[in-house]
Structure 1
């Protein structure tokens, strides 16, 4: 009853487990207590299926084989001392572990012939690792076995004296108090008598302090400026409230089993959670009354999800718990097929288009086939991706001893080259059009960016380490201010005492912008519902003119209407949440293919758009029909799915993409003949665009959206403004700039 799990025994052996929801698991145990098999029934769309998993053991109780619920066999061998000797997976790939006379691991041989070699000290600690590409990583320990240094490989394999090194030192109590990175930057920690970290001092001297209660729970964190975040707990030690420096707090409640039952945000809006007897989430009730319901099968797989509109998505699985199908509310079905070790080998979308994958002996992508084309991948001895062959040709990659990419060469010969400092921070990016250089300060933060034309961007930081000022090559300066919880409250852009823009932000307690003022030009105000959705935005210009837009939504967030001074636009959706029709000011109809991809928008005979897609759901062609006629654009992608080429009505544009960053960015544009048309320099964001006409510079809002473009003499040559949903509402100037 209740949440009780019960067991049945026979001859002193456990033979059945009955979960709180009544689900039964049958167990067979041998005389040594080893589990030989587990059987369980699971309900599938095809009916009841019995899942059986089994294992065999040697006389020492060590597993020799185990068979999963899809009857895939894995085998293992052991040494006389009970250490693993080899493992052969269900595809027949064997990994062998080599040991010395003291039973220490000295090597690992992989199925493809790759080898890792290990050297141990007298305490059995690994002091040296030689990787498959012959890179050597060394670990240094003190007399009592504590790690004191990690020495990375470099280009001079025979001499480790100048290698990059991470160092750790300890206090008399054995606690790690300082860490020094390969560039000599030191991070310090302080501890109390119980080992709690009471302070962290970063390389720039920024100090964060922590306070703990008698139960050693963190109750307060304060930054260098004295901004304090506080934490409260219940009698069971569970976090119940977090209060931020601005007074905003988030409260959490739990049931007797420790599951979160409610979350109350800083504005008092409550989300509730319910669970079944096995602690699985079965319901979420949002602050607006919308409920999402989850259902599970007997082995705990999520098989049914009902949204707040009552639309149901179902999921199917194989015996291993790998998802094999997704069925959308209107019946569209996607399927997934896996090999014996669980690698995805085929994906088929609802339109019947498939992507097939093959892997090498190490489980790395070897090939991908889609739309009748095959992409192949090869790797170097150090296991780095070395080449990709696709319909575009062959893309090549080169690396340093640390595994950092040093060069990417496109099929047509265009390239990106990189250099790094000792800690792996990028120092330069070079292309055919030139080199952009990066300089860091003593704290490891970006200090200067020197672009291809020699222009220097300089970054400054506040005592918290946040960006506070940026000086541009065009003579502009941008200042940023923050509130107590780190929200940007002001961005002031000026040149020679002339203000270009003065953006000032006001936030509610939930951290949402409720007012944006561009001093002297405009003011935008925003209102939200209890779910944080934008329901009203107002814009007041300095001239006194104003506009207002109101939005309404359904329970799952689909926009139902938008009303402004020109009238109301309404939106209609199907059960898959696909937009079908808009009426009113922006009337149009929308159609989709069998895979739910948008294929047309029809807003009248002179306002039509058609879209074509690949089997990987990448947009490959758009056709736009206006009163001036039809225009077609084709799109080409690389193996990462990054857009690398467009062809608009026969005019080809090649894009050189830098994917060696958190978000891939276009750094160069070229014509079909290879002439460089534009190049881009980046710091934290896109800084500038250089063409034959010279350089222009981007000035953005807090989200990184470009608001102003200036020339090298800091004159504004382009500007644009956006609605709360990021739709451009006004703009003037440089229309040739894509950003």
Structure 2
């Protein structure tokens, strides 16, 4: 009983810091874990994810056992709406609570969350201001539907016992054949989800122990992932994960209060130990240790400072918990906010220099900017009544740091975009002008699933002619300009075969080529092997080297024409083990559409990665998240995003990952104290990827560098 009492006495405040060590919240010692069981191929994917929290805030969410919950178990606790201090607690997809207080006629969080709550006649609406996705809840706080901005509606179906049985996605205007994309859930006699059927018919099965802990997940291909709970003091505490090959890949231990004391892995350099003090936590790694200081500010545990052998980090917060000032061994930062709590200025100084970002908003409530000033560039935005960017303008400035803000002087170069949308906020046409000269004129048409089917640039005549999709809306065929790409997927939705048929044209010097690449995977989902062949002019397919496969895929993903590299068919089949130490990833089916036909890369990503001279940007990029990536995009200033947050959110469309972050303002204080290590890793990654992917500035748009760089940072734990 004493152990149980201490378990229940652990701090109930939400920890704002980033979890560390795969992963533990350092302030309250809670272990958390998120895994993705399904992801559709939509531009705004339909997903089914699970999150574990060792001491859950939401005790009633037991459909996946007492300590796991799915992203579709989001709910509102509306029991506190009456009384002198009305409040609503929104439980998010990761199980973390967010409290809204009724202040001056509006529901608001203490610090700006990027989520807006409103009560309507039939219930509640929670809007994610970063995506304009609307979650609808009943008057009792039950999640009823989710509506992304671009015409999809995801409706939840419950049985008579109140159990969620289906998530049904419909695209506005879809014909009956494509009317429904459905995830179905089945329950055991104890009311726990034991089977999930994805839209393609794949079955994911869930197993539980006598304490209702989720102990196994059996994937559609039959491989099993297992979870261990062997601490006799805490029957629901996750102590280990065993992957599909039977290897234990993570182990956690706990103190008497249920706080994690260690996290260990096969790679011992990633191991960490935790020691808890009064308002501080000390973490020890193989290469050193550090301390995080924290305090409860506005109902949330927030990092107030820390120290390592590299030095001391200090932080100043306002009474709402907003970060005002940070000083650390690797630099400093200062942030300003408007009356609504939205960030309006970020000044970040590092050894690479100072980067100042200023934002002026288009209205009093949204995150839509009207002006954004960054080093060397000014951007302006105009919106229609639906919140879509219909006018975009940018010009180069002489302000190398951003210190001049909106007063920066133009250097003359100017780019503008005019756009229009259909009734469902889907981009229909976009025209690009550079210094008054029309350079691109795009038209777009959606398919029956609500996703992009056809895109054509009328000046260059580049064409995405047709797109076919499978039952999960994954691309299976894409055509255009004398080319055809086809994709085959395995039972877990991974590309198993990629073919590319390139017809003979003047650009290919009359050479017709057919590429075929086959992938195999390890039980735990990593690429185990990759082989490729090319057939020329209808001849016999010949094996090609891994380097040639890389060039084909790289050219495909950036929308190059032609895709085939200069003919060189000598070589032999090469497997992943021969490619070490590089990590091989499957081809990205829609990346070429993103980089070629959509505007996010052209207007933002390249400028955050590659300078005008074609060299990589040194120092960290401005703290911007790119919203509306299916439309004409706009940036959102989010103070103190860490590297993992940027890769997961800012770059999610370009490099689809298997995880899905929660909605709202994804800002994340560093869980690990400030260290020079990641700054040094960053510089090494820049040098490595510059040599590998930036041979000539004129012929490289930066995407390959960007992919190499982000993977290098992730591989090094930064």
1:514 correspondence with 2:453: yes
Distance 1:442 1:247 in 2: 23
Distance 1:604 1:282 in 2: 37
Of 231, 239, 253, the match for 1:324 = 239
Matches within 5 A, 1:459-498: 459-473=381-395, 474-495=413-434, 497-498=436-437
Distance 1:217 1:378 in 2: 38
Matches within 5 A, 1:288-299: 288-299=200-211
* Deviation of 1:276 (Å): 0.5
CA 189–315 in structure 1, closer or farther in 2 if over 3 Å, else same: closer
Range that drifts further, 370-379 or 570-579:
370-379
Which residue does the alignment assign to 2:274? 358
Which residue does the alignment assign to 2:308? 390
Distance 1:396 1:166 in 2: 32
1:503 correspondence with 2:425: no
Distance 1:300 1:416 in 2: 46
Distance 1:428 1:483 in 2: 34
Range that drifts further, 350-359 or 338-347:
350-359
* Deviation of 1:323 (Å): 0.8
CA 492–372 in structure 1, closer or farther in 2 if over 3 Å, else same: same
CA 288–731 in structure 1, closer or farther in 2 if over 3 Å, else same: farther
**CA contact under 8 A between 1:367 and 1:377: conserved in structure 2?**
yes
Which residue does the alignment assign to 2:630? none
Which residue does the alignment assign to 1:712? none
Greater length-normalized contact order (CA 8 Å, ≥ 6 residues apart): 2
Of 602, 610, 617, the match for 2:581 = 610
1:560 correspondence with 2:496: yes
Distance 1:273 1:73 in 2: 31
Of 407, 422, 428, the match for 2:345 = 428
Distance 2:702 2:108 in 1: 49
**CA contact under 8 A between 1:293 and 1:305: conserved in structure 2?**
yes
Range that drifts further, 421-430 or 520-529:
421-430
Distance 2:324 2:529 in 1: 50
Distance 2:364 2:158 in 1: 41
CA 345–504 in structure 1, closer or farther in 2 if over 3 Å, else same: farther
* Deviation of 1:361 (Å): 4.0
1:303 correspondence with 2:215: yes
Distance 1:197 1:605 in 2: 53
Of 350, 353, 360, the match for 1:439 = 360
**CA contact under 8 A between 2:221 and 2:492: conserved in structure 1?**
yes
Range that drifts further, 310-319 or 430-439:
430-439
**CA contact under 8 A between 2:223 and 2:244: conserved in structure 1?**
yes
**CA contact under 8 A between 1:437 and 1:450: conserved in structure 2?**
yes
Distance 1:466 1:607 in 2: 48
Which residue does the alignment assign to 2:371? 448
CA 392–518 in structure 1, closer or farther in 2 if over 3 Å, else same: farther
SS of 1:486's equivalent? coil
Distance 1:480 1:257 in 2: 47
* Deviation of 1:346 (Å): 1.1
**CA contact under 8 A between 1:436 and 1:452: conserved in structure 2?**
yes
CA 433–270 in structure 1, closer or farther in 2 if over 3 Å, else same: closer
Which residue does the alignment assign to 2:257? 341
Which residue does the alignment assign to 2:47? none
* Deviation of 1:436 (Å): 3.5
- Give the TM-score normalised by structure 2: 0.51
Deviation string for 1:77-131 (max 9, x for gaps)?
A: xxxxxxxxxxxxxxxx9xxxxxxxxxxxxxxxxxxxxxxxxxxxxxxxxxxxxxx
SS of 2:161's equivalent? coil
Distance 2:217 2:320 in 1: 45
Distance 2:166 2:296 in 1: 52
* Deviation of 1:181 (Å): 12
* Deviation of 1:294 (Å): 1.0
CA 200–293 in structure 1, closer or farther in 2 if over 3 Å, else same: closer
1:579 correspondence with 2:530: no
* Deviation of 1:684 (Å): 3.5
CA 369–505 in structure 1, closer or farther in 2 if over 3 Å, else same: farther
Deviation string for 1:415-448 (max 9, x for gaps)?
A: 3322223333223223444643322344244222
CA 276–379 in structure 1, closer or farther in 2 if over 3 Å, else same: closer
* Deviation of 1:311 (Å): 0.6
**CA contact under 8 A between 2:625 and 2:635: conserved in structure 1?**
no
* Deviation of 1:307 (Å): 0.8
Distance 1:608 1:498 in 2: 45
Distance 1:463 1:391 in 2: 53
Structure 1: gaps spanning 5 or more residues: 1-53, 55-65, 76-92, 94-143, 150-164, 170-175, 219-236, 541-545, 590-601, 613-644, 646-650, 665-681, 687-699, 706-726
* Deviation of 1:605 (Å): 13
Instruction: Tell which structure's C-alpha radius of gyration is larger.
Output: 1
Which residue does the alignment assign to 1:655? 619
Distance 1:576 1:308 in 2: 13
Structure 2: gaps spanning 5 or more residues: 11-27, 29-81, 88-100, 171-177, 396-412, 502-513, 534-543, 548-572, 584-608, 610-614, 628-633, 639-649, 656-692, 707-718
Distance 2:456 2:652 in 1: 13
1:539 correspondence with 2:480: yes
- Give the TM-score normalised by structure 1: 0.50
**CA contact under 8 A between 2:432 and 2:439: conserved in structure 1?**
yes
RMSD between aligned alpha carbons? 5.4
CA 392–479 in structure 1, closer or farther in 2 if over 3 Å, else same: farther
Of 163, 175, 196, the match for 1:259 = 163
Distance 1:295 1:526 in 2: 38
**CA contact under 8 A between 1:435 and 1:451: conserved in structure 2?**
yes
* Deviation of 1:402 (Å): 4.3
Distance 1:308 1:569 in 2: 23
**CA contact under 8 A between 1:273 and 1:285: conserved in structure 2?**
yes
SS of 2:239's equivalent? strand
Deviation string for 1:341-374 (max 9, x for gaps)?
A: 2222211113455522425445x66222223321
**CA contact under 8 A between 1:242 and 1:250: conserved in structure 2?**
yes
CA 352–402 in structure 1, closer or farther in 2 if over 3 Å, else same: closer
* Deviation of 1:148 (Å): 11
* Deviation of 1:733 (Å): 4.6
SS of 2:428's equivalent? strand
Deviation string for 1:166-208 (max 9, x for gaps)?
A: 9525xxxxxx8x999999xxx99897xxx6579999x9xx9x9
Distance 1:352 1:605 in 2: 24
SS of 1:68's equivalent? helix
**CA contact under 8 A between 1:406 and 1:417: conserved in structure 2?**
yes
Distance 2:119 2:289 in 1: 56
**CA contact under 8 A between 1:168 and 1:180: conserved in structure 2?**
no
CA 289–425 in structure 1, closer or farther in 2 if over 3 Å, else same: closer
